[in-house]
Amino acid sequence: MARIIARDARLGFRERGSDLSLHIGIPRATVTADSAHVMVGYRQQITRTGDLNFYIEENQYLFARDAAGWRYVRRVFVRHGDGGCVRGR
């Protein structure tokens, strides 16, 4: 499941420790006999501007167990928060 989530094109990893780093966390995961629901949170806070400038998003990834292991089913948008400067980068 982690490999599938990591391939999500939206992640766009950046240099570790940079103020442009995208922090990814898994606040909760529920696994049953034949399905898994994994909540993934993305957070970014740009500190160099001196202004309030942040981005937060949570998505739930749904998986189903099949003969080959875990199969990705879909991603469900949960919530989004964005504060600060106009986006565009």
* Cα atoms in the Cβ-side hemisphere of radius 13 Å centred on 8: 16
Give yes or no for a contact between 40 and 62, defined as CB atoms under 8 angstroms apart: no
Output the pLDDT for position 53.
74
State the average pLDDT over residues 2-28.
66
State the average pLDDT over residues 55-82.
91
Tell if the pTM clears 0.75, that is, is over it. Answer: no
Which tens digit of pLDDT belongs to each residue from 32-51? Answer: 989 999 999 988 777 666 66
